[in-house]
Amino acid sequence: MQSLLVTGGMGFIGSNFIHYWKKHHPDDQIINVDLLTYAGNRDNARLFDGQVGYQFVQSDIGDEALMMKLMQGIDVVVHFAAESHVDRSIHDPGSFVRTNMVGTQILLEAARQGQVKKFIHISTDEVYGSLGAEGAFSEVTPIAPNSPYSASKAGSDLLVRAYYETYGFPAVITRCSNNYGPRQFPEKLIPLLITRALRDETIPLYGDGLNVRDWLYVDDHCSAIERVIEAGVPGEVYNVGGQNERTNLEVVQSILKLLGKPESLIQYVADRLGHDRRYAIDSSKIRRELGWTPAYSFEKGLQKTLEWYVSENEWCARIADGSYRIDKEADHR
């Protein structure tokens, strides 16, 4: 039995990870630390409320004293908490530096002093910058971030690296491609377009719609993190990708087709500033060294994602009307 401290567990990937981990390791203890920013949604992990071996702590990872206290007896930290949306980073870079860089350093220090056995830092392929038509990012590709978001993630990666090199702190970095799946906040492309198309609203497509992303189903990301917890080597970086490269236009067209909605909903809009053209991940290292393989094709993952958004009306409605930010239990008191 192990004790995990998960940060950002009310967000998209963190909450899917807690669902995944509790299913496969039911006896493990989990402390979920999340500030509940606009991206944190208590509905995402409500299932675990009151369960033995699960505790939710609403806090900023920048609360040094509390992080020190929570680290006592923790075996593994899985650090998801971040400001994660590129468009928001263009308008408010400061909050990205505060949480992604300063917050990560505070968490690293607390974990080091608490003598945790492993620290998994969840990073992103965006730290490598943008690709031309050919090639893919490997773990030795130089870091060249282009947005305030990716720069703040790259900064956090360098702090993690420094903690390993300086103190021998047992940290591992994962860098994954674009995730999709249940519980993703509808500001990111796939949930935005599903929720808007279901309401027959227009789909904003940036620029020429031909930017390329490599899509990874969130459960495949969780199984990769599981392998890294079990066998990842401290000081190493592991890239995680789905080998599902698609242009944004192709993604939008596929989803509109699956939902039976017309392409006339697509509306071309002004491009994102500094918009990275293409991401592609070479994940041969984690496949070869840790034996990880993704289980979902893009088609299968999309199907599951669509089914989830169609069936979870209340989750979508509580985001649309803002009530997801008000705790349900507190409402009834």
User: Which two structure tokens, joined as six digits, stand for 87?
Assistant: 């468009």
User: Which two structure tokens, joined as six digits, stand for 254?
Assistant: 């596929």
Q: Alpha-carbon torsion 113, 116, 118, 120, what sign? A: negative
- Binding of ligand TDX at residue 214 (CB under 6 A)? no
CA–CA gap between residue 9 and residue 183 (Å, rounded):
11
CA–CA gap between residue 308 and residue 296 (Å, rounded):
15
CA–CA gap between residue 58 and residue 74 (Å, rounded):
18
- Binding of ligand NAD at residue 178 (CB under 6 A)? yes
What are residue 281's DSSP bridge partners?
137
Q: Which partner from the list ligand TDX, ligand NAD, none does 248 bind, CB cut-off 5 to 8 Å by kind?
A: ligand TDX
116 or 122, CB closer to ligand TDX?
A: 122
CA–CA gap between residue 257 and residue 282 (Å, rounded):
29
Q: Which partner from the list ligand NAD, ligand TDX, none does 185 bind, CB cut-off 5 to 8 Å by kind?
A: ligand NAD
- Burial code of 250-271, b = ≥16 C-beta within 10 A, e = fewer? ebbeebbeebebeeebbeeeee
Question: Which listed residue (102, 161, 206, 258) binds ligand TDX by CB under 6 A?
Answer: 206
Q: Which of 20, 149, 164, 238 is catalytic?
A: 149
201 an active-site residue? no
- Binding of ligand NAD at residue 153 (CB under 6 A)? yes
What are residue 179's DSSP bridge partners?
216
8 or 170, CB closer to ligand TDX?
A: 8
Residues 151-180 that bind ligand TDX (CB under 6 A): 178
User: Which two structure tokens, joined as six digits, stand for 54?
Assistant: 């699960």
Q: How many helices, marked H, and strands, marked E, lie in the chain? A: 13, 12
Spatial contact of 103 and 158, defined as CB atoms under 8 Å apart: no
- Binding of ligand NAD at residue 148 (CB under 6 A)? no
Question: Which listed residue (4, 18, 31, 61) binds ligand NAD by CB under 6 A?
Answer: 61
Residues 2-31 that bind ligand NAD (CB under 6 A): 7-8, 10-14
- Binding of ligand NAD at residue 36 (CB under 6 A)? yes
Residues 222-261 that bind ligand TDX (CB under 6 A): 248
Q: Which of 34, 43, 109, 126 is catalytic?
A: 126
Length of the chain: 333
126 an active-site residue? yes
Interface segment toward ligand NAD; rule CB under 6 A; list 59-67, 190-198, 243-251, 299-307: 59-67
Number of residues that bind ligand TDX (CB under 6 A): 16
Residues 108-147 that bind ligand NAD (CB under 6 A): 122, 124
Cα–Cα distances in Å, from 169 out to 161, 163, 246? 9, 6, 38
CA–CA gap between residue 7 and residue 1 (Å, rounded):
19
149 an active-site residue? yes
Spatial contact of 324 and 318, defined as CB atoms under 8 Å apart: yes
Binding footprint of ligand NAD on the chain (CB under 6 A): 7-8, 10-14, 34-37, 39-40, 60-62, 80-84, 99, 103, 122, 124, 153, 176, 178-179, 185
Binding footprint of ligand TDX on the chain (CB under 6 A): 84-86, 124, 126, 178, 188-189, 192, 204-206, 211, 213, 248, 272
